Amino acid sequence: MRFKALCRIAAVGLLALPLIPLQWLAVRRDWTLARHLPVLFHRCVLAIIGVKVAVHGNEARERPLLIVANHVSWLDIVVLGSVVPLSFIAKSEVAGWPVIGLFARLQRSIFIERERRHRTAHATAAIGARLKAGDAMVLFGEGTTGDGIHILPFRSALLGAAREALGDGDRHAFVQPLALRYARRGGLPIGRGAMKEVAWIGDMDLAPHLIGVLSGPPIDVVVNWGEALAYDAGTDRKALTKRLEAEVRTLVRVGA
H helices of the chain, in order, are 2-28, 33-49, 75-81, 100-106, 120-132, 160-164, 192-198, 206-214, 237-253
The domain defined by 2-253 carries CATH number 1.10.3110:
no
DSSP state of 54: E
DSSP per-residue letters across 225-246 = E---EEE-TT--HHHHHHHHHH
**pLDDT in the model for residue 252:** 93
Task: Give the largest CA-CA distance in the chain.
Answer: 56
What's the one-letter identity of residue 89? I
**pLDDT in the model for residue 205:** 84
Q: Tell me the average pLDDT across 148-159.
A: 89
Separation between Cα atoms, residue 173 and residue 199, nearest integer Å = 32
**pLDDT in the model for residue 101:** 86
Q: Tell me the average pLDDT across 130-136.
A: 91
Could you read off the pLDDT of 173-219 as tens digits, one per residue? 999 999 999 999 999 999 888 898 899 886 778 888 889 999 999 99
Asked if pLDDT for residue 113 goes beyond 80, the answer is no
Could you read off the pLDDT of 44-94 as tens digits, one per residue? 999 999 999 999 999 999 999 999 999 999 999 999 999 999 999 988 888
pTM: 0.93
Asked if pLDDT for residue 118 goes beyond 60, the answer is no
Domain ranges of the chain: 2-253
Q: What percent of the chain has pLDDT over 70?
A: 94
Nearest to 49 by CA among 230, 212, 193, 241: 212
Instruction: Specify the DSSP element, H or E, that contains 183.
Output: strand 173-185
